[in-house]
Amino acid sequence: MADLFTPAPIPAPHTLTVSFDAWEGPLDLLLGLARTQKVDLREISILALTEQYLAFIDSARQLKLELAADYLVMAAWLAYLKSALLLPRQEQPDPSPEDLALRLQLRLQRLNAMRDAAARLMARDRIGRDVFPRRAPEGLRLVKKAQWRASLYDLIATYGQIRARTQPVVHTIAVRPVMTLDEAIQRVGALVGAALDWTRLESFLPPDLDPPKVKSALASSFVAALELARQGRIEIQQDGIFQPIYLRAPMPADHRGPLL
Amino acid sequence: MNPEPDDYLRAVEAALFVAEHPLTPAEIRLHVGEAGDLDTALRTLGDQYAGRGVNLVERGGRWHFQTAADLAHILRREKDEPRRLSRAAMETLAIIAYHEPVSRAEIEAIRGVQVAKGTLDVLMEAGWVRPAGRREVPGRPLIYATTVEFLTHFGLSSRRDLPGIEDLRAAGLLDPVDLALEGLTGQSVVENDEEEA
Amino acid sequence: MNPEPDDYLRAVEAALFVAEHPLTPAEIRLHVGEAGDLDTALRTLGDQYAGRGVNLVERGGRWHFQTAADLAHILRREKDEPRRLSRAAMETLAIIAYHEPVSRAEIEAIRGVQVAKGTLDVLMEAGWVRPAGRREVPGRPLIYATTVEFLTHFGLSSRRDLPGIEDLRAAGLLDPVDLALEGLTGQSVVENDEEEA
């Protein structure tokens, strides 16, 4: 802020010791020069300002100061403006040099206004420099209180999962609907005595069986028939592969038909 | 406030206001100098701030402003933050609900996993679980049970409203996960079907 | 101080006292509730603290306590010195504050030099300037504006408090040169109007 509160060095061509670092570009330099005219910027003579600027640049050149290009561009433009302003009015180019001069004046006014505004802004009572808040406020605290969410479904579903996960898996062997071989031997042995002629194996099955049990009964009865035949208690006949199987009680030897 | 606090009083007030910690009179004087009667200024400030939202207090020879004790509640604002229970907490809660009262070891035996300390804390903080005495076995472990708030939250009039094992089974909630998956893939699970029926 | 500040006033006072940053009325209400007239309470507190070593101030719609400016010398510490701004940064800040929102090209038009890369960064890092969208013109340049922290730091209740802003506006010094030129030469004024609105 030192550069703000110390007034810009007022350049005068005969005491030129200015470093160009002090200027923020040619417009800034022009504004500094304009302030030396000590008049309201609205009253400023652009022609006089132009001459001041060009003299300043010349002095700088004689002192072999390094001049940034934009200062030289401004110098060239101002030299043009000066010559145009000096021309008789009817010979002046378009846009008129008066308009150009006015434009420059307006720009200087605006830059000057912002420079003053910046100074007044910086001079305000600033936090941490002029006014102070508490250095260690306790702070307003926002305490977050957990609002736990869980539904009854979550609860019971979770419990079900625990039980399913941790219970030993028990394999139960189902009791199948079967007819045992003993049952079949008894049944077939009893019934075949009553049959006089060849009778199909299926006829010896109990009536009203469930379909799964029918197969079991058929298989058991077949094995029972083989067993009874081996014991000589019945005879078996089948005409070909996959043909019906017939059973009957044993005949006297001469009546015996073809054996299986 | 008083119409015209003098500059010395104002300086003491401001110094105490910005201070990072309570100040001794000597520390205050480092700021405000010797141009006034510090004891009087502190007493006057104390009187002026008495009964306000901020008071000037002296503790062990140091002075500082602090908020009035009865206003503490407004400086700490609570905000509800909805959160879901972790899986571990949910399982623990379910086991307590179905088996209460249970000890931690029993919960672990049922879960097949250790129960972290924080898990029970969360359930107690939520107000759903409470310690319910000790089991009279060696080690006298703490046992846990559910609370009335638990019943309220889950809309139960009593623990008997919890669906039993058979209800869970009927709802398919006891299906082992892999079996349920097998069913989903359309493969035959014929034999077990009959068992479940 | 007043003999009997009511509890609502006391609560507002305490909340502002402990707050870590300036509070909006909405933030204050979060703590003190709706049981009183906040505007009145703030005005009353402001009056009560006026002229004291500590004042209640409003900056950009936020309220905070701060020490009185004339006591700065006893409170300032060396390390408090705010960061020095370059002249470029100060001018750029002023231009943004008085013209906002402005684009970089507009800042450059006023200053007659390019805005160095770091200048806007410094102002944004200080928290005083923020990007405020883009101007809907070719190139869609970024535009900048000041922040609430800017108002707080420089002790401004609002941008209307910017020193001399009404005079500058009345003098047309916040209008772009082209616009002013057209006005001066009696030509019609057009395009830039909206930007200034």
Q: Exposure string (b/e) for A134-165, b if CB count within 10 Å is 16 or more?
A: beebeebeeeeeeebebeeebbbbbbbbbbbe
DSSP summary character for residue B146: E
Record: contact A28-C113, CB cut-off 8 A: yes
Q: Does B77 touch chain C (CB under 8 A)?
A: yes
Which position has the higher pLDDT, C38 or A8? C38
**pLDDT value at residue A23:** 81
Q: Are B159 and B95 in contact (CB under 8 A)?
A: no
The closest alpha carbon to A110, from C129, B69, C178, B55, belongs to: C178
- B78·A133 Cβ contact <8 A: no
Q: CB contact, 8 Å: B69 with chain C?
A: no
Calpha distance A248→A201 (Å, rounded)? 10
* A146 contacts B112? CB cut-off 8 A: no
* Nearest residue on chain B to C20, alpha-carbon basis: B75
Residues on chain A touching C75 (C-beta within 8 angstroms): 132
- DSSP alpha helix (H) spans, chain A: 2-5, 26-36, 46-62, 69-86, 97-122, 152-166, 181-192, 211-230
Residues of chain C with C-beta less than 8 angstroms from the C-beta of A122: 85, 90
Question: Minimal Cα distance from C30: which residue of B?
Answer: B77
Which two three-digit tokens encode residue B97?
Answer: 């609900």
* Model confidence band, residue A88 (pLDDT cutoffs 50, 70, 90): confident
User: Interface of chain A against chain B, CB under 8 Å?
Assistant: 132-136, 138, 140-152, 154-166, 169, 172, 174
Cβ neighbours, 10 Å, residue C108:
16
Contact B93, B84 (CB under 8 A): no
Residue A247 confidence (pLDDT): 86
Element holding B24 (H helix, E strand): none
Q: What is the residue-averaged pLDDT of chain A?
A: 81
With cut-offs at 50, 70 and 90, classify the pLDDT of residue A89.
confident
Q: How many CB atoms lie within 10 A of CB C33?
A: 13
Task: Report, in angstroms and rounded to the nearest whole number, the Rg of chain A calculated over CA atoms.
Answer: 62
Alpha-carbon distance B104 to C152, whole Å? 57
The residue type of C40 is: T
CA distance C11 to C138: 53
d(CA B130, CA B117): 14
Q: Look at residue A2 in the predicted model and tell me its pLDDT.
A: 39
What mean pLDDT comes out for the span A198-210? 82
**Binding partners of C (≥3 Cβ pairs within 8 A):** A, B
Beta carbons of C131 and C142 less than 8 angstroms apart: yes
| Contact (Cβ atoms closer than 8 angstroms) between residue B15 and residue B28 | yes
Q: Which carries the bigger pLDDT value, residue A36 or residue C96?
A: C96
String of b and e for A216-255 (b: at least 16 CB within 10 Å)?
bbbebbbebbebbbeeebbbbeeeeeeeebbbbeeeeeee
As a whole number of angstroms, the longest Cα–Cα distance in chain B is: 101
Suggest the residue from C64, C65, C113 to mutate for an interface test with chain A (most A CBs closer than 10 A): C113
* pLDDT, position A126: 92
Chain A residues lying within 8 Å of C13, measured CB to CB: none
Q: What is the mean pLDDT of residues A28-55?
A: 86
Q: Do B71 and C2 touch (CB under 8 A)?
A: no
Q: What is the mean pLDDT of residues B32-55?
A: 93
Tell whether B176 is within 8 A of chain C (Cβ): no
- ipTM greater than cut 0.95: no
Long-range contacts of residues C25-33, Cβ cutoff 8 Å, at least 24 apart? C25/C61, C25/C63, C28/C63, C30/B77, C31/A140, C31/B74, C31/B75, C31/B77, C32/B74, C32/C8, C33/B74
User: Which of C173, C66, C31 minimizes the C-alpha distance to A105?
Assistant: C173
- Work out the angle at residue B113's Cα, subtended by the Cα atoms of residues B109 and B115, and round it to the nearest 5 degrees: 90
Task: Report, as an integer, the average pLDDT of A10-16.
Answer: 47
Distant-in-sequence, close-in-space partners of C82: CB < 8 Å, separation ≥ 6: A126, A128, A129
Q: Is B71 on the interface with C (CB under 8 A)?
A: yes
d(CA A27, CA A77): 12
Instruction: From residue B154, give the alpha-carbon distance in Å to each of B130, B147, B159, B174.
Output: 16, 11, 10, 21
Nearest CB neighbour to C10, from listed B2, B18, B52: B52
- The whole-angstrom separation of Cα B123 and Cα B88 is 11
The pLDDT value recorded for residue A106 is 92
* Residue A233 predicted with pLDDT over 50: yes
Is B9 in CB contact (< 8 Å) with chain C?
A: yes
Q: Are C65 and A116 inside 8 Å of each other by CB?
A: no
* pLDDT-derived band at A175, boundaries 50, 70, 90: confident
pLDDT digits (tens, 9 = 90+) for B70-119: 988 888 777 777 888 888 999 999 999 998 899 999 999 888 888 888 89
CA–CA gap between residue B72 and residue B54 (Å, rounded): 11
Measure CB to CB from residue A3 to each of C87, C93, C154 and give the nearest one: C87
Chunked in runs of 10, what are the mean pLDDT values of chain C (197 residues)?
Answer: 76 95 93 91 96 95 96 83 84 96 94 88 92 90 94 95 95 89 62 43
Among A137-151, A154-168, B179-193, name the one with the lowest average pLDDT.
Answer: B179-193
pLDDT band at residue B67 under the 50/70/90 scheme: very high
| pLDDT given at position A13 | 46
Q: The whole model's pTM is what?
A: 0.64
Query: Does C110 sit within 8 Å of A26, measured CB to CB?
Result: no
Judge whether B85 and B101 are in contact, CB under 8 Å.
no
Q: Mutate one of C29, C55, C75 to test the B interface: name it (highest B CB count within 10 A).
A: C75
